[in-house]
Amino acid sequence: MPNKVQCSLSYHQASAEHLPVFGLGVKQGIKNNPTVFDPAKTPAPPVTDTQFETLIGNDEETYAAYKKGGLAQKPAYLAARSALITALDDTAVYVDTIANGDENIITLAGYTPTYVSKNKPTVPTAPKKVTAETGDSTGEMITECETFDKNCQYGCIVSEGQPLPAGIAITADGLLFLPAGLTNRIIFNLNRERVKKFTGLTKRVDYYFYYFVINAAGVSPLSEGVEKMSN
């Protein structure tokens, strides 16, 4: 079966200095070619020019603060980077739809064309290496799991005070369904990034972190829960 040209997601591995430059290129590519990427048509660009400017500015500012202030500023930078990558991911899906395999349109939007196999992928396995560490601020936790395929999306479910019960269901679109009668606080994060930051957690309370992975074939089972007390 032939391959199809799509937007490369290699910017996920871009350096801190290069990611905002790449984002600026995509912003300009969408803005400067309205006959191709027409905001008045359906589908429309999912991220506006102003939104891109804000996300790129936040990424640059938080990285500068991180370099100057050290580890205490890292969580804010990771959150800003994650937000920019999510916007680029959403825009890549849009550009792929408009381009329909035309690498010239992909290049026009500021992305790098790549050949993606149309062979059916397999459902990911459950993540096996999940970590959770307290952040520098009270009620902050940083989590991550191992790396899967570059086209995968990472989700994390956090249960406050007790492990997750049976009956959790996650759809292929990443929607979370909880069993009836659940009373403890549940936090759900599906921002595509492996490394996630959770804030506003209750001090000195145990939290249980579960990762899952989504690709075109489906949703992985949940990882084993990792327990960590909030600072």
Give the pLDDT confidence score for residue 150 in this predicted structure: 81
Mean of all residue pLDDT scores within the chain: 92
Whether residues 41 and 135 fall in one domain: no
pLDDT-derived band at 2 (thresholds 50, 70, 90) equals very low
Q: Is residue 54 part of a domain?
A: yes
The pLDDT assigned to 229 comes to 97
Q: Is residue 120 over pLDDT 90? A: no
Predicted confidence (pLDDT) at residue 40 exceeds the cutoff of 70: yes
pLDDT band of residue 117 (cuts 50, 70, 90) is: low
Instruction: Indicate whether 46 belongs to any domain.
Output: yes
Q: Using the Cα atoms of residue 166, residue 154, residue 54 and residue 114 in order, give the sign of their dihedral.
A: negative
Six-digit token string for 105: 């349109």
How far apart, in Å, are the Cα atoms of 88 and each of 22, 53, 104, 142?
A: 9, 12, 18, 22
Asked if the structure places residue 192 within a domain, the reply is yes
- Asked whether residue 121 is assigned to any structural domain, the reply reads no
Q: CB within 8 A of 22, min separation 6: which ones?
A: 11, 14, 88, 110
Residue 204, sorted as left (phi over 0), alpha (psi -120 to 50) or beta, turns out to be: left
As given in the structure block, the two tokens for residue 202 are 């209750």
Residue 33: enclosing H or E segment and its boundaries?
Answer: none
pLDDT higher than 60, residue 3: no
Confidence of residue 21 (pLDDT cuts 50, 70, 90): very high
One domain for residues 107 and 164: no
Does pLDDT of 116 surpass 70?
A: no
Lowest mean pLDDT among 34-38, 48-52, 183-187: 183-187
Average pLDDT rounded to a whole number, residues 27-50: 96
What whole-number distance in Å separates Cα of residue 70 and Cα of residue 63?
A: 10
Q: Which pLDDT score is estimated for 188?
A: 93
Q: Note down the domain range covering 220.
A: 131-229
pLDDT of res. 126: 95
One domain, residues 101 and 179? no
pLDDT band at 132, cuts 50/70/90? very high
More confident residue, 158 or 3: 158
Residues 192 and 103 occupy one common structural domain: no
Tokens for 17, please give them.
């200095």
* pLDDT of res. 172: 74
pLDDT in tens, 152-178: 899 999 999 999 988 888 887 678 888
Give the pLDDT score at 81.
Answer: 95
The pLDDT of residue 87 is above 50: yes
Where residue 211 sits, what CATH number does that domain have?
2.60.40.10
In the chain, the percentage of residues whose pLDDT exceeds 90 is 76
Q: How many CA atoms lie within 13 A of 184 on its CB side?
A: 15
Tell me: pLDDT of 1 over 70: no
Helix ranges (DSSP H) in 32-175: 49-69, 74-99, 103-108
Quote the number of domains for the chain: 2
